[in-house]
Structure 1
Amino acid sequence: MQLTTFTDYGLRALIYMASLPADKMTTITEVSELYAISRHHMVKIVHKLSQEAFIKSSRGKQGGIRLARPAEFINIGDVVRRLEPLQLVDCDHCLITPSCHLKRVLSQAMKAFLAELDKYTLADIAADRNLKRIFNAEISVENLY
């Protein structure tokens, strides 16, 4: 299974926000520059994350974005379900649908994939101290390996 870049960058934005102190806000510009992606694309991602109540956003001079709840209460499977279009195949107009078992097999695979993601929270995947060091530019990614 390959996630869309939308979900990929949504998860990355959440990881970055999880690495910040709970009271610190960041900006869309900061996140998009950090990951070297289009600010326009990040605006759409942040809007969706806000709609789904993973983050809070506020406008104005003191505004920004931050997690809506502690990282240990944000389930990765839930994030993927809400950001990712999970229909793997469209069997509506397929000639072999009555005899084909592909949709059932893919559905079972998707359930197993999501069940594995459900085992983890944002806190689990953002817990590495090296992440905070990278985000604070204390070390470069190349020096980690």
Structure 2
Amino acid sequence: MQLKKYTDYALRVLIFTGLKSERELANIKEIGTVFDISQHHLGKVVHELTKLGLLETIRGRNGGIRLAKPPEEINVGLVVRQMENDFHLLECFENGTDHCVISPACTLKYTVNKALHAFFKVLEEYTIKDLIKNEEELRQLMNQK
């Protein structure tokens, strides 16, 4: 299974902003520089995270972005589910498009579906707070850019 870059970028934005204090704001340019990601792409990601209520944007000259809730309240599994729109890992997962001759007797789709549920079960055990518990190491790595 592979997540979209969009989801990867969303998690990076949440990690980056999660490392900031409640009063400290991040900005797209800063995040783009640290992770070498296009500001244009990050703008779309930040917009989506804001719509989902995970980020708060502050307008103005000294504006920026910050987490809209504490990092321990942002579940990684939920973020991935919200950012990804297609978990049809096999053709038979898609309604009405199954052209596989063995589909009526195949157990592969059930096996893959079980694996997908296990994947999310693990992700749902973690929050952004868990992903930033090694704060000092993360900050040092980000400051090297």
**TM-score, normalised relative to structure 2:** 0.87
Say whether residues 1:53 and 2:53 are aligned partners.
Answer: yes
> Counterpart of 1:25?
25
Residue 121 of structure 2 corresponds to which residue in structure 1? 115
CA shift at 1:27, angstroms? 1.1
- Alpha-carbon distance in structure 1 between the residues aligned to 2:17 and 2:38: 18
Query: Which residue identity does 2:42 align to in structure 1?
Result: M
Mind listing any 5+ residue stretches in structure 1 that lack a counterpart?
Answer: none
Corresponding position of 1:12: 12
Partner Cα distance (2:29, 2:123) in 1:
28
Match of 1:93 in 2: 98
2: distance between equivalents of 1:42 and 1:25?
15
Partner of 1:131: 138
Deviation above 3 Å: which 4+ runs of structure 1?
Answer: none
Question: Percent same amino acid at aligned positions?
Answer: 37
Could you tell me which runs of 5 or more consecutive residues in structure 2 were left unpaired when the two chains were aligned: none
- Aligned pair in 2 of structure 1 residues 53, 90: CA closer, same or farther (>3 Å)? farther
Structure 2 SS opposite 1:66: strand
Give TM-score scaled by structure 1 length: 0.87
RMSD: 1.6
Shift of 1:99: 2.6
1:90 Cα offset (Å): 3.0
Which residue is 1:72 aligned to? 72
1:86 CA drift (Å)? 2.2
Single out whichever of 52-61 and 116-125 deviates more from structure 2.
52-61
CA distance in 2, matches of 1:112, 1:120: 14
Distance in 2 (CA, whole Å) between partners of 1:100 and 1:61 is 59
What SS does structure 1 have at the residue aligned with 2:56?
strand
- How far did residue 132 of structure 1 move? 2.0
Tell me the number of residue pairs that the alignment of Structure 1 and Structure 2 aligns. Answer: 138
> 1:124 Cα deviation (Å)?
0.6
Letter in 2 for 1:132: R
Cα distance in 1, alignment partners of residues 81 and 7 from structure 2: 9
Superposed, which structure 2 residues align to 1:34-45 within 5 Å? 34-45=34-45
